[in-house]
A and B are shown apart, each in its own frame.
Chain A
Amino acid sequence: MTATLTGDEFTVALFYCQNTPGSGEHERRSLEKRFRASLRLYPLPCGGRLEPRHLLRALEEFADAAFVLTCPAGECRYFEGNLRTEKRVQHVRNIIESIGLKPERVGSVMNSKEDPKPLVVIAQGIMAEIARLGHSPVLHPRPPWTDTKEKGEMPCDYR
């Protein structure tokens, strides 16, 4: 499968903390213009507000993958929102793995403290990675005579 940086073929739900560097309105609009419906952006007041069901609902209804971008370690305005996000993402990964979906379809990216990347750069990395994973079998079911379950891979570093 060919990876496409424009992400035309895949849909990603990207939840992001509005307090992380380079995640203002200007960046959001520019990303929406570039990726159109392939990238659905959901700003959050803090990554800790993300619930597992948000990620699952995105995967169920439209997204080939669902990610969340949080503030760097130790930089969360509410002290531990980014740490909670990591745990919730892991919980969702366990759930989707138990139904035969690749856990890599859900992920969290904690921005780097030393070299924070803007939303645009992180979104590009995620889109490229999702192109490698391919379409979600939830949205594009495989024929019943094939193996409907995906096999997990090692998580990647999207920073």
Chain B
Amino acid sequence: MITAEQKPIEEIRRMIEPYTSVLLIGCGSCVAECAAGGEKETAILASALRMAAKMEGKTPVIHEKTVERQCVKDFILPLAESIDDYEVVLSLGCGAGVQAVAELFPQIPIVPALNTGFIGETRDQGYWVETCTGCGDCMLYWFGGVCPLTRCAKQLLNGPCGGSRDGKCEVNPEVPCAWQLIFERLSAFNALDRLEDIYPPKDWSQKQGLGPRKIIREDQQRQET
């Protein structure tokens, strides 16, 4: 999932200050899972913004709605019924959600309320950790399901740096050494021979350098009429 954290309220208030009617749009998917932009967080932020305005004697219209998935056009289309009643949209979606709303409703300014973080997993309640860089050429098979690009501080593909101590990374001793994990997992499956290959430097052209990446699946596309 995509993780995010809410921007400081002060920063959000500065961005929406010129407007007198604001629609907060939450997202019920990834950012709800990481407690940044779901229905609850949207209600909390809306309430805080209304109170802050009231304290200054202002009475802006601040309403909130949460869609199931802000990055999918079909889920945000129903907003068309009411979005023109507002001067600005404050999105609690990830960067993809913000841009999807901006593209679908070009007539209304949009303000992001979150700082989008990384692709990660929920390791525990209230604890999210980055586990995928989105490199576009997954090598998890070769590394026993542990990504050295994301989880090794030095992004080494051909073995450990030699600096780890007690299984912990020398750059950040709170983090387990990714290569220690790779070694342990491949050992458990008798697959250490996968490490005998030499892996060339990562081909980053799969990830960046050509503008936004696209996936096109004709079998999933709507029939042209």
The reply to whether B51 and A59 contact each other, CB–CB distance below 8 Å, is yes
User: Of B44, B52, B55, which is in contact with the most chain A CB atoms at under 10 Å from its CB?
Assistant: B55
Provide the bound-state CA to CA distance between A2 and B30, in Å.
50
Q: B40, B43, B48, B57: which contacts A99 (Cβ < 8 A)? A: B48
Q: B10, B48, B55: which contacts A137 (Cβ < 8 A)? A: B55
A-facing residues in B30-68 (Cβ within 8 Å): 40, 43-44, 47-48, 50-52, 54-57
> Among A18-26, A35-43, A48-56, A112-120, which stretch is in contact with chain B?
A48-56
Tell yes or no: B212 within 8 A of A by CB: no
User: Of B47, B50, B52, which is in contact with the most chain A CB atoms at under 10 Å from its CB?
Assistant: B47
Q: A56, A57, A60, A143: which contacts B57 (Cβ < 8 A)? A: A143
Name the A residues within 8 Å of B57 (CB-CB): 141-144, 148
The reply to whether A101 and B40 contact each other, CB–CB distance below 8 Å, is no
The reply to whether B9 and A141 contact each other, CB–CB distance below 8 Å, is no
A51-B40, A98-B9, A99-B9 are contacts. A56–B48 as well, Cβ < 8 Å?
Answer: yes
Specify the chain B residue showing the minimal Cβ separation from A139: B54
The reply to whether A100 and B40 contact each other, CB–CB distance below 8 Å, is no
Provide the bound-state CA to CA distance between A149 and B10, in Å.
13
Tell yes or no: A96 within 8 A of B by CB: yes
The reply to whether A148 and B44 contact each other, CB–CB distance below 8 Å, is no
The reply to whether B51 and A148 contact each other, CB–CB distance below 8 Å, is no
The reply to whether A100 and B48 contact each other, CB–CB distance below 8 Å, is no
Name the A residues within 8 Å of B8 (CB-CB): 98
The reply to whether B40 and A60 contact each other, CB–CB distance below 8 Å, is no
Name the A residues within 8 Å of B50 (CB-CB): 60
Provide the bound-state CA to CA distance between A33 and B51, in Å.
30
Provide the bound-state CA to CA distance between A59 and B48, in Å.
10
Tell yes or no: A95 within 8 A of B by CB: yes
A141-B56, A144-B56, A144-B57 are contacts. A99–B44 as well, Cβ < 8 Å?
Answer: no
Name the A residues within 8 Å of B9 (CB-CB): 95, 98-99
The reply to whether B51 and A138 contact each other, CB–CB distance below 8 Å, is yes
The reply to whether A138 and B47 contact each other, CB–CB distance below 8 Å, is no
**What 0/1 readout, one digit per residue, does chain B (178-209) give for beta carbons within 8 Å of chain A?**
00000000000000000000000000000000
Specify the chain A residue showing the minimal Cβ separation from B39: A53
Provide the bound-state CA to CA distance between A89 and B9, in Å.
18
Provide the bound-state CA to CA distance between A141 and B58, in Å.
9
Q: How far is the CB of B48 from the nearest CB of chain A, in Å?
A: 5
Name the A residues within 8 Å of B56 (CB-CB): 141, 144, 148
Provide the bound-state CA to CA distance between A109 and B9, in Å.
27
Q: A51, A56, A141: which contacts B55 (Cβ < 8 A)? A: A141
The reply to whether B40 and A56 contact each other, CB–CB distance below 8 Å, is no
Provide the bound-state CA to CA distance between A141 and B59, in Å.
11
Specify the chain A residue showing the minimal Cβ separation from B43: A53
Provide the bound-state CA to CA distance between A138 and B52, in Å.
7
Q: A95, A141, A149: which contacts B54 (Cβ < 8 A)? A: A141
The reply to whether B51 and A52 contact each other, CB–CB distance below 8 Å, is no
The reply to whether B51 and A101 contact each other, CB–CB distance below 8 Å, is yes
Q: How far is the CB of B36 from the nearest CB of chain A, in Å?
A: 13
4 further contact pairs, Cβ within 8 A, besides A98-B10, A99-B52, A142-B57: A53-B40, A60-B47, A98-B48, A137-B55
Interface residues of B (CB under 8 A from A): 8-10, 40, 43-44, 47-48, 50-52, 54-57
Interface residues of A (CB under 8 A from B): 51-53, 56-57, 59-60, 95-96, 98-101, 137-139, 141-144, 148-149
